[in-house]
Amino acid sequence: MTCRLIQFSFFIFSSSGHVVEIYGPEASVKTTLALHVIAEAQKQGGYCVFVDAEHALDKKLAESIGVNTTNLLLSQPDCGEQALSLVDTLIRSGSVDVIVVDSVAALVPKGELDGEMGHAHMAMQARLMSQALRKLSHALSPSQCILIFINQVRSNISTFGGFSGPTEILGSQVLVKVVKNKLVPPFKIAEFELQFGKGISKETEIIDLSVKNKLISKAGAMFYYNEQSFRGKDALKNFLAENQSALEELEMKLREKLLNAETEKMWDVINGDVREAIATVDSTDEEAAAIVEA
């Protein structure tokens, strides 16, 4: 798992007993990000549930990301009440570690499904979610379960320009921002490169962080690592993807360097506190001596 994804997953896993919402526009890899969290939870021995209200989970994509679909409890409920009732039962059982609900928009109330097309159903879903969250939050509080809701944001329809010529798009750059958080400082940002059909690109992030930490040299479009040269990031990325041992070696060096940097930073803080404490003691002794002399 990459370092930025480690930071994001640490935020998620520190949210045990809380609700987490991953939201964004359509096709902004919300489900992919949730699947990465499930994959990491499974690696730590956690039991995970995916409530597929959209009935659209791609098992091949989940497996390519690292999810063990054999050990994943998958539910495809018929209505919003059924989905939320299942979530409540699972939380109260205490037997699951991560529950992902994909998505809030697909949690259609039974009354709306049973009604006629075109009939107004004023705020039925809003009332359902409001009631469910009060109940679920109460059940989550004593548990170690993480409940992740995936949600969408809508934008107004507007005009757009013409289409360009045919191009092959292999992925996208994704920016994730923590908007609200009760447990750690909010507004943290993580940026990932997403490869369609594969998930978050581990190789790209390791390259970026290795260049930043001087484990890989970069001059113009050329990259240099272990006395080998690569023309362009894609060439180095392909090399690391095809040579797992080289990727693991570079990742280990990077982890050691980052860990040493964090340790040094921690000791600087500790030494600064000690120096401040000594200075305070010295000033106190001088004041005491002055009082005695007086």
Instruction: Give the residue with greater pLDDT, 216 vs 9.
Output: 216
- Low-confidence winner among 50-64, 179-193, 204-218 (lowest mean pLDDT): 179-193
C-alpha 68: how far from its chain's center?
18
Q: What band does 202 get if pLDDT is binned at 50, 70 and 90?
A: confident
Average pLDDT, stretch 59-75?
95
Pairing of strands 146-152, 19-24: parallel
Pairing of strands 217-219, 222-225: antiparallel
Average pLDDT, stretch 38-63?
94
Residues in the chain: 294
- State residue 160's pLDDT score: 47
Pairing of strands 199-200, 189-195: antiparallel
Q: What band does 7 get if pLDDT is binned at 50, 70 and 90?
A: low
State how far the Cα of 281 lies from the Cα of 289, in Å rounded to an integer.
Answer: 12
| Domain chopping of the chain, boundaries | 3-154+169-195, 201-288
**pLDDT tens digits, residue range 249-289?**
998 998 888 888 777 776 766 666 555 655 555 555 555 55
**pLDDT tens digits, residue range 139-170?**
998 888 999 999 988 655 454 444 454 456 66
Instruction: Give the residue with greater pLDDT, 123 vs 56.
Output: 56
Domains 3-154+169-195 and 201-288 share a fold: no
Residues contacting residue 72 through CB under 8 Å, at least 6 positions apart: 38, 42, 48, 49, 50, 62
pLDDT exceeds 60 at position 43: yes
Closest CA to 152 of 30, 25, 34: 25
What ranges in the chain are assigned the alpha helix state H?
3-13, 30-43, 59-65, 80-93, 110-114, 124-140, 202-212, 233-242, 244-293
CB 19 within 8 A of CB 137: yes
Q: What band does 290 get if pLDDT is binned at 50, 70 and 90?
A: low
Which class is domain 3-154+169-195? Answer: alpha beta
Q: Which of 105-114, 164-173, 193-202 has the highest mean pLDDT?
A: 105-114
CB 38 within 8 A of CB 50: yes
Query: CB 44: neighbour CB atoms within 10 A?
Result: 9
Closest CA to 148 of 20, 48, 31: 20
CATH of 201-288, one of 3.40.50.720, 3.30.70.3270, 3.40.50.300, 3.30.250.10: 3.30.250.10
State how far the Cα of 203 lies from the Cα of 206, in Å rounded to an integer.
Answer: 5
State how far the Cα of 101 lies from the Cα of 224, in Å rounded to an integer.
Answer: 44
pLDDT exceeds 60 at position 292: no
State how far the Cα of 125 lies from the Cα of 130, in Å rounded to an integer.
Answer: 8
